[in-house]
Copies of this chain bind each other. A is one copy, B any other.
Amino acid sequence: MTLLGRWVWRVGTAGVGVVVGTALVKSGLHADDDAVSVASSVGMPVAHAQSTTTTPPARLPTLPYGFPDMGQLKHRPYHVISYNQALRIPNWVCETFDEETVKAGTTDRKHCPFKTDNSIHPYFQSVDSDYRGSGYDRGHLAAAANHRTSQEHMQSTFFFSNIAPQVGQGFNRDAWNQLEGYVRRLTKAYTHVHVCSGPLFLPTRTPDGRMMVSYEVIGKNRVAVPTHFFKVVVGKTPKGQLEIQSFIMPNKPIAAGQPLINFLVPLEDVERAAGVLFFEGIPNKYAYTYRKNGKLGGRFDKRDKT
């Protein structure tokens, strides 16, 4: 066996206005042709580099033969993906959208085929055949319907790097879809909506009192099936205030008609389980909206149509 198909690191600069230490150049892999610039139609500067990754340090004395990088960042229009190479699904996907970007136009998901993400090393990709016959849906983390400014932007959510196995009936097509719709409607109450979504692997207690995490892996590439999914939602009010809500839903059929408030959790619960602090740049002075008198709180309530 030889060391074929490995990454080649070349030190360089990348990005506009983004501090990035090294650029990743793939050897023997397709370039990520479909990763396009972050559009600036919501008034944000274009400031990303194609195919950048969480920057590994340059040669360290203890690591003279390369940095064992755990994953890659994918910069796509209006969403960023942290990909988990071991689980073959995202760690998280963070989106930014507003009333304009979610508006139904001429874009149509029927013209969006799912695509293998060839910017990922073949060892760590998930592909269509992993899902076929598995019984699970190819569930979007960044929802296609949030990204309707162009067919190309919508297409960018169909890379398998944005997909995780979801229970179809009762979850992806129902409760989770309802949550996605709720978050989209928040664009009517907030000038910008920021959402981070991702998988969780939560333990259950066994009869002998031990806490066990148990999850299926599907397909030749052993794609992990999360036990739960989360969404952390930030709304920016017209006055510039920020309100936060967090949800955790089990990846299983959920009885119809349940209000979303049943899945509302403290942000801390998501953060401890995911191993990530979300929106840590939000100053403490901003109100944290969790639950007020059994209602969603803030401007969130009036958007829950269930």
Interface residues of A (CB under 8 A from B): 1-4, 6-7, 9, 11, 15, 17-22, 38, 40, 44-48, 52, 54-66, 68-71, 73, 75, 78-80, 82, 84-87, 91-92, 94-96, 121, 123-124, 194, 196, 201, 203, 210-218, 222, 224, 234, 242, 266-268, 271-284, 286, 288, 290
Give Cα distance in the complex from A214 to B224, angstroms: 12
Residues of B within 8 A of A123 (CB): 268, 271-272, 277
B38, B86, B212, B274: the one within 8 Å of A62 (CB): B38
Determine chain A's interface SS by DSSP, over half rule: loop
Q: Indicate if the CB atoms of A61 and B96 lie closer than 8 Å.
A: yes
B52, B68, B95, B288: the one within 8 Å of A276 (CB): B68
Give Cα distance in the complex from A290 to B84, angstroms: 27
Q: Indicate if the CB atoms of A282 and B3 lie closer than 8 Å.
A: yes
What's the minimum C-beta distance from A202 to chain B, rounded to whole angstroms? 9
What's the minimum C-beta distance from A150 to chain B, rounded to whole angstroms? 16
Q: Which residue on chain B has the smallest CB distance to residue A212?
A: B216
Could you pull out 11 A-B pairs where Cβ atoms are within 8 angstroms? A2-B284, A7-B280, A9-B280, A9-B281, A18-B60, A54-B55, A55-B57, A66-B282, A87-B275, A210-B216, A213-B215
What's the minimum C-beta distance from A1 to chain B, rounded to whole angstroms? 5
Q: Indicate if the CB atoms of B275 and A84 lie closer than 8 Å.
A: yes
B62, B68, B214, B222: the one within 8 Å of A278 (CB): B68
Q: Indicate if the CB atoms of B203 and A211 lie closer than 8 Å.
A: no
With A54-B56, A87-B275 already in contact, the answer to whether A242 and B19 are too (CB < 8 A) is no
Give Cα distance in the complex from A117 to B78, angstroms: 36
Q: Indicate if the CB atoms of B21 and A68 lie closer than 8 Å.
A: no
Residues of B within 8 A of A9 (CB): 280-281
Residues of B within 8 A of A96 (CB): 61-64
Give Cα distance in the complex from A87 to B200, angstroms: 11
Q: Which residue on chain B has the smallest CB distance to residue A3?
A: B284
Q: Indicate if the CB atoms of A212 and B210 lie closer than 8 Å.
A: no
What's the minimum C-beta distance from A70 to chain B, rounded to whole angstroms? 6
Q: Indicate if the CB atoms of B57 and A15 lie closer than 8 Å.
A: yes
Give Cα distance in the complex from A203 to B88, angstroms: 14
What's the minimum C-beta distance from A157 to chain B, rounded to whole angstroms? 13
